[in-house]
Structure formats: structure tokens, C-alpha cells
């Protein structure tokens, strides 16, 4: 009846109703897309490329207590890095793959090293600083601190089967995963994995909270 009396009004009303429905659908899809993106960002990146051999621990356990020294002879432990994500790399100067991957670890430390992340390259050379320091100087490693474990106690504590072996120790001091063998630590895959464990920065978290809970 309305369409017969007010044909123009009826047509405009139908058009407005169709447009409103379209906006509602787009809005709904937008919410779905944003929600899906937020969920995906909380998941670890795919273990591919340089990180294909990275193995996570389904039930991370506290890292074993180990003791080692720095270049000045100061006694240290993993507790000295509490609150940081630690990439613990066990290596030796006589280990070919260790030597090959060392520059990439140095570049990773240069790029991501901060109050929230550190690469701890721990040498298990029995000769200690006498062979490690010349090696680091010769290979122009500039961003990694020198850490020494001549007795090799760290290898036994972490049940290492060969060198190099690298563990990710999260901020809670638990072993999140490891790679046995050489890896390209300056690759985009490695950086993405480390950033996942490091987590968002405080400003980023604040922006996220403000977006989710506007004042």
C-alpha cells in the first residue's frame, strides 16, 4: 500500500535499507578479520627456513643452574640475565659449524640486543680465554661478550649432544626450545622467532590496551 501511495519514498527506503545492511556486513567482516589477526599475532612464527630445525619444549622446564666466567674472570650464572630472553649458544673454536655461524650471532646481538634480549655465546674450549680471545679478534666479532666454560659443565647440564647447540631461555628462566647444529641467526626467520619470545615493547602494549579499552 505504501509503495503505491509513496513510490519514490519506498524506493529510497529500500536503497537505504540495502546500504545499511551492506555496512553491517562489512563491519562484521572487519571485526572478524581484526580478531583473527590478533589471534595469529600471539602464535609463534612458522619454523621454516633458517629456523626449520628449531624444536620447542611442550612443557618448558627451568634452565639448569650453570656457572661460567667472563673475559675478566668474573663468575656468572644465567640468573645474572634474569628478566631477559637469553639465546644461549654453546660453541668452541675447533668446531667448524660454530665458527661459521658466529658472525650471524654477532649481527643478531647488534640488532636485537637490549635490556630484554641477549645472546650469550658460551665457549667450552678447554684452553679458555687463551684461544677464544684471538679467535673473536680474528673474526671481528664486536657485539658479543666473551663467556667461558672450560670444564664444559654447561654441556652436561643441558644434555648437549654436539656443537653448536643453541637454546632459547625465556624471561621466566625456562628453556623454550633449542637448535642442534648451525643456524643463520641473522635471518628474517630467526629475528621473527626471537621477537616472538621477546614480546611487544611496553609502548606497543600500552597502545594495544588503549585501542582495546578506549577511555
3-state SS, residue 102 = helix
Per-residue pLDDT reduced to its tens digit, 32-91? 232 233 334 456 667 888 999 999 999 999 999 999 999 999 999 999 999 999 999 999
pLDDT of residue 42: 54
Mean pLDDT over residues 114-124, rounded?
98
For cell 684461544, the residue is 131
> Which of 95, 75, 63, 82 has the alpha carbon at shortest distance from 167?
63
**Could you check whether the bond before residue 164 is cis, i.e. omega within 30 degrees of 0?**
yes
User: Hey, where are the domains in the chain?
Assistant: 2-43, 49-201
pLDDT of residue 43: 64
Mean pLDDT over residues 174-203, rounded?
92
Q: State what percent of residues in the chain have pLDDT above 70.
A: 73
Q: To which CATH superfamily is domain 49-201 assigned? A: Glutaredoxin (3.40.30.10)
Per-residue pLDDT reduced to its tens digit, 134-157? 999 999 999 999 999 999 999 999
Q: Model-level pTM?
A: 0.75
The answer, yes or no, to whether residue 129 has pLDDT greater than 70, is: yes
pLDDT of residue 202: 52
pLDDT of residue 2: 41
Least confident among 3-12, 91-100, 193-202: 3-12
Residues 6+ positions from 157 with CB-CB distance below 8 Å: 64, 65, 66
Kindly indicate the confidence band of residue 28, based on its pLDDT and cuts at 50, 70 and 90: very low
pLDDT of residue 201: 74
Strands (DSSP E) along 32-82, which ranges?
Answer: 55-56, 67-70, 75-77
**Number of helices (H), then strands (E), in the chain:** 7, 8
Amino acid at each position: 500500500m505504501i509503495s503505491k501511495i509513496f513510490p519514490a519514498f519506498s524506493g529510497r527506503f529500500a536503497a537505504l535499507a540495502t546500504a545499511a545492511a551492506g555496512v553491517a556486513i562489512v563491519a562484521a567482516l572487519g571485526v572478524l578479520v581484526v580478531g583473527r589477526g590478533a589471534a595469529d599475532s600471539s602464535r609463534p612464527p612458522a619454523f621454516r627456513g633458517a629456523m626449520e630445525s628449531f624444536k620447542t619444549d611442550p612443557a618448558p622446564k627451568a634452565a639448569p643452574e650453570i656457572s661460567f666466567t667472563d673475559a675478566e674472570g668474573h663468575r656468572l650464572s644465567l640468573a645474572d640475565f634474569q628478566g631477559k630472553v637469553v639465546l644461549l649458544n654453546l660453541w668452541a673454536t675447533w668446531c667448524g659449524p660454530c665458527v661459521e655461524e658466529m658472525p650471524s650471532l654477532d649481527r643478531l646481538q647488534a640488532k636485537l640486543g637490549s635490556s630484554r634480549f641477549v645472546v650469550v655465546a658460551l665457549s667450552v674450549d678447554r684452553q679458555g680465554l687463551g684461544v677464544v680471545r684471538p679467535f673473536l679478534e680474528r673474526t671481528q666479532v664486536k657485539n658479543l661478550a666473551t663467556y667461558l666454560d672450560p670444564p664444559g659443565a654447561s654441556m652436561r647440564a643441558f644434555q648437549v649432544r654436539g656443537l653448536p647447540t643453541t637454546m632459547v631461555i625465556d624471561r621466566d628462566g625456562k628453556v623454550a626450545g633449542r637448535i642442534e647444529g648451525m643456524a643463520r641467526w641473522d635471518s628474517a626467520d630467526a629475528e621473527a622467532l626471537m621477537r616472538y619470545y621477546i614480546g611487544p615493547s611496553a609502548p606497543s602494549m600500552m597502545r594495544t590496551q588503549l585501542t582495546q579499552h578506549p577511555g
